[in-house]
Amino acid sequence: MIENSKFNIHNQSNNLSGIINLNLSDNYNDSDAMIINTEINGFKNISIAAYNLRNLTIGGCSFITNNLTAIAMDSKEISDLIISDSYFRVPKIYNTIRWIDENLSFRGESIKFVNCTFVYPDILEQNSTAIAIENNYNRISSLIIENCSFTGYNECVYLLNLNNINPLIRNNSFIDFKSFGINATNGRGLRIINNQFISSSQAFSLQKTGIFLSQISYPHIISNNLSLQGLNIPGAGISLVSSNGEIRGNNISGFKYGIELGSSSPNIGANVITSNTENGIYVGAYSNPNLSYTIINDDVYPLSGYNTIRENGLCNFFPSYSEIYLTNSNIQLKGGCNTIADDREDPALHCNHLYLIDGDHIEETIYAAENYWGEINNHNPEGRFGENITVEYEGYLNEPCNYSSGSEILLLTDQNGEVFDTVYSSMNNISQLSDIETRYAMANSYFYAKEFNQARYRYENIIDLYGTIKNSLKAYLRLYEIATLINSTPDEFNQLHQFYLMKASIQTDSVMIGVLKHLSSLCIVWSKNYEEALARFENDIQTASNNDIALYRLIDILTTSLLIEPDSLVGKRVSGYLATAKNSSYSEVISELLSTRGKSALNEKIKIIPEKFILYQNYPNPFNPSTKISWQMPVSSRVTIKLFDILGREIETIIDGYYKAGFHSTFYIINSTLPSGVYFYQLQTDNFRAAKKMVMLR
């Protein structure tokens, strides 16, 4: 135990592993340690280095330094780490557990921050993080951040590669963050509950996003208050990319978008989204959020619907922004009891907000009966939808549809059975359910009871009966969510990937096709075939019909890259995306990408052109009957790919044409005259040549 101590550091060597060094061998991994009421000032490297302990408790301590290289704590191989009632005035506290030897003895690490205060030092530096944790190789078993305060950091909580844990971030305050309150990637779940996100500082801000999640399959974002005060900079209160889950009971104001969705389809319920500078909800490429009712058995729950979305968009901008904007996407609104309104009228300030819902590339009718559209025109929303969309609004409400609690209770629990949210049913009852609604009601009851095998069977049944209509999309999404929640194997994700591709091939609606193909790509990520996933995301960028799709696929590439060791061939391939004039980290590039939203093209500082020629291994290999060949090129050139046998004799030309700089791929189908065996394919450009081996199977 170290107790009631004080360390004032005047000259810490960069080679010194820690002011307090608890680096025990594996022989001592049943040891406990406590650091209580201790103050460490002025450290330049690591304050506490702790490894191979059973339990470590840090309580009532103070860590103060202005040094940009300083790390308050470096820890790994600790079964139970609790940091409580402590004060940090440090550029970052970091749990560095990335790229350690995968063969080390596994230790399920539990990490908890409780009642701590994090204050960024008064120094000029943009890249600052309060808590950054990377969970490679699934070493962390649980993570809790609760009742803490964060002030002045570029990003407050940075969680990478959550994988199979379901962290809890509850009752915290995120004050004057510069870029992100919470930034998290790659996982099945995350609970963000009852936190305060408040910022009025514009310092260093390309954009401000309260909560940014990328490739988190089923997060719960509940009862948070997110508010920017007097600012007009890019960013969203809640931004999801390739994530679904539940967004419920939040208050969001002052951001560019209240909620931004990129290829994400959450349930959105009982939120209050007002006074954001452009749109209340931005529904980006291949998203399908649910703002309709959620029925479980015979009861309606505010897991979706009952939102108030009103008076978003600056009054001094003309033409005005809509409350909801959709692009290459869809939205479920029917029976949602949502208030979607803008009753402001001030012609001098261009404050007659005409459109309530607007969009582009929307093929299907949006069904939106049983919602309230405000006071204008006697509550009738006729004429208040964009010219490029069709909204069926008949059956609109003449007064707001306020939620009132019913008698039935839905308990949401974590993997240990602990209740983290209680949801009461609505007093509203659906008088007569259609067949698909009845089937959803039963499937939902199993899903929320965590009887996932029963739920999966019933969602599959919905797809069998209704799999070509857009109301079946929720069932398709549920299959992906269930696969992540039950820790499906890579082979099972590969099977689901093939299922989505097969179902996409029979669709006629472009949004359904886009959603299903993107789900298939995410399954490839979960199957750990990262090269194939990157090739698909890169192909989506090259063939994107608009900037929106390209933006979200680029974020998918960057997020997937976090799962890849940087020294590997695939890791080096991705590094070109991070090589910009000023940026070198995931957070910085994501921040700059999000700041481009609404512009005609991606920010020119973000490089999506590779730095060198690479010919990639075909996939699958061995193959029958087809395989994909991918390559990248930093300049435009004539390209030929030829097939040779094992003796070097030319068999055929696979492609011959002119290609622009970028990432490309082509499919090769077995020539019916060729026997099984080993072959070579060769890429030839104006100034590059490479060859790879492939194996054909009959």
Q: How confident is the model over 98-125, as a mean pLDDT?
A: 67
Mean pLDDT of the chain: 85
- Lowest mean pLDDT across 185-189, 333-337, 576-580: 576-580
Dist CA 135 CA 188 (whole Å): 13
Q: Which residue has the higher pLDDT, 417 or 326?
A: 326
Per-residue buried b or exposed e for 90-121, using 16+ beta carbons within 10 Å of the residue's own CB: bbbbbbbbbeeeeeeeebebbbbbbebebbbb
Indicate whether 101 pLDDT > 60.
Answer: no
Dist CA 20 CA 29 (whole Å): 17
**What is the three-class DSSP state of 464?**
helix
Quick one: CA dihedral 544, 262, 597, 392, positive or negative?
A: positive
pLDDT tens per residue across span 114-169: 999 999 887 656 668 888 888 876 778 889 999 999 999 889 999 988 988 999 99
pLDDT tens per residue across span 256-282: 999 999 999 999 999 999 999 999 999
Maximum distance among all Cα pairs of the chain, rounded to whole angstroms: 81
Percent with pLDDT over 90 in the chain: 49
Q: How confident is the model over 295-318, as a mean pLDDT?
A: 87
How is residue 508 written in tokens?
A: 């006629």
Quick one: CA dihedral 372, 377, 378, 383, positive or negative?
A: negative
Place of tokens 């009982």: 270
Of 245, 111, 243, 202, which Cα lies nearest the Cα of 555?
A: 243
pLDDT tens per residue across span 512-562: 999 999 999 999 999 999 888 988 888 788 777 777 888 899 899 989 988
Residues facing 358 on adjacent strands: 325
Instruction: Say what the alpha-carbon torsion angle 22, 23, 24, 30 is, to the nearest 10 degrees.
Output: 50
Residues 219, 189 contacting (CB under 8 angstroms): yes
pLDDT number for residue 209: 96
Report the amino acid identity of residue 85: D
pLDDT tens per residue across span 348-392: 666 767 789 998 878 788 999 999 999 988 999 998 998 889 999
pLDDT confidence band for 580 (50 / 70 / 90):
very low
Residues 528, 138 contacting (CB under 8 angstroms): no
Indicate whether 185 pLDDT > 90.
Answer: yes
- Lowest mean pLDDT across 90-104, 325-339, 481-495: 90-104
pLDDT number for residue 23: 73
Indicate whether 102 pLDDT > 50.
Answer: no
pLDDT number for residue 91: 78
Rg (CA), the chain: 26
